[in-house]
């Protein structure tokens, strides 16, 4: 009896259980759907599956996860707004961004507040004091921006420039006037306060010309206008003679030759 029971137990243990036969029975419907989608994509790319075998399921899961993360980080699908695809920036938009971040370390360059808008119009020459004044610039800014916002976007910026252009160049058509205003702004950067530019003028040229210096200032430069350094600032005493400060060294022989 003992031998028969042990043999029966061995036979029962050799039969695989339902859990062993179906280890992936707990797989969700979403994973099965993803596998089917991946199979369809690879079938379309590789009609001959014998020459292009399917990748392991673990690699496919990693690819799907990386795609989701990239989509979430970009905020849109491939090629849309926020995509990592580089977009060509015009000179006008580049100037808009430079003025938008001027003086504000937290600015992103996507919107422009009123202070920098006025600075842009002033630095780029849009404000001429005749056709366009600072008051006109402020009025246009308040007109194009949204009521709940304190900044304007790039599209609103172009609309504001278009309105100023029609007022600045009344004798030209709308497109020609806009083109003239855009030329004033394209490629410009904010002027930093406290930094002055060198201006060529007769007064400056006279003050920086060493040949026109007089007195002790003239002694600091040679005939070519090059500075002498310490020799031009300090009286160097010649101690080569038998008397300190003697300046007529070698003249005795010259006098004897003249007398002879």
pLDDT band at 1 (very low <50, low <70, confident <90, very high): low
| Chain Cα centroid distance, residue 117 | 19
- Closest by alpha carbon to 37, among 13, 19, 60, 71? 60
Element at 21 (helix H, strand E): helix 18-21
pTM beyond cutoff 0.75 = no
Chain centre to alpha carbon of residue 218: 48
For residue range 221-243, what is the model confidence (pLDDT) as tens digits?
Answer: 888 778 888 878 887 776 666 67
Q: Does residue 62 sit in helix, strand or coil? A: helix
165-192 confidence digits (pLDDT tens): 999 998 888 889 999 999 999 888 888 7
Better-scored residue on pLDDT, 217 or 137: 137
Q: Which of 34-48, 134-148, 238-252 shows the lowest per-residue confidence on average (mean pLDDT)?
A: 34-48
Reply yes or no on whether the pLDDT at 55 is more than 50. Answer: yes
3-state secondary structure of 196: coil
Residues in CB range of 241: below 8 A, 6 or more apart: 249
What is the reported pLDDT for 156?
A: 94
The secondary element (H helix, E strand) that includes residue 113 is strand 112-113
pLDDT, residue 46, reads 53
Which residues neighbour 52 within 8 Å (Cβ) at sequence distance 6 or greater? 42, 45, 46
Q: Which residue has the higher pLDDT, 63 or 25?
A: 63
User: Rounded distance, CA 143 to CA 136, Å?
Assistant: 11
Region 35-61 average pLDDT: 57
């Amino acid at each position: 009896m003992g031998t028969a029971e042990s043999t029966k137990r061995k036979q029962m243990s050799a039969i695989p259980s339902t859990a062993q036969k179906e280890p992936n029975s707990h797989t969700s419907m979403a994973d099965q759907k993803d596998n089917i989608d991946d199979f369809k994509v690879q079938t379309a790319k590789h009609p001959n599956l014998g020459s292009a075998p399917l990748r392991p399921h673990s690699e496919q899961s990693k690819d799907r996860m990386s795609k989701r993360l990239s989509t979430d980080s970009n905020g849109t699908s491939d090629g849309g707004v926020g995509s990592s695809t580089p977009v060509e920036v015009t000179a006008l938009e580049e100037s808009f961004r430079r003025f938008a971040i001027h003086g504000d370390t937290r600015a992103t360059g996507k919107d422009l507040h009123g202070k920098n808008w006025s600075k842009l119009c002033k630095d780029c020459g849009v404000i001429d004091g005749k056709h366009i004044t600072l008051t006109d610039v402020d009025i246009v800014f308040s007109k194009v921006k949204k009521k709940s916002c304190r900044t304007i976007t790039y599209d609103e910026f172009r609309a504001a420039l278009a309105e100023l252009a029609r007022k600045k160049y009344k004798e030209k058509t709308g497109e020609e006037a806009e083109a003239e205003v855009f030329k004033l702004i394209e490629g410009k950067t904010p002027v930093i306060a406290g930094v002055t530019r060198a201006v060529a003028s007769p007064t400056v040229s006279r003050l920086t010309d060493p040949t026109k210096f007089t007195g002790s200032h003239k002694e600091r430069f040679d005939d070519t206008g090059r500075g002498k350094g310490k020799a031009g600032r300090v009286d160097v005493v010649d101690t080569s003679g038998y008397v300190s400060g003697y300046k007529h060294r070698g003249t005795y022989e010259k006098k004897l030759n003249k007398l002879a």
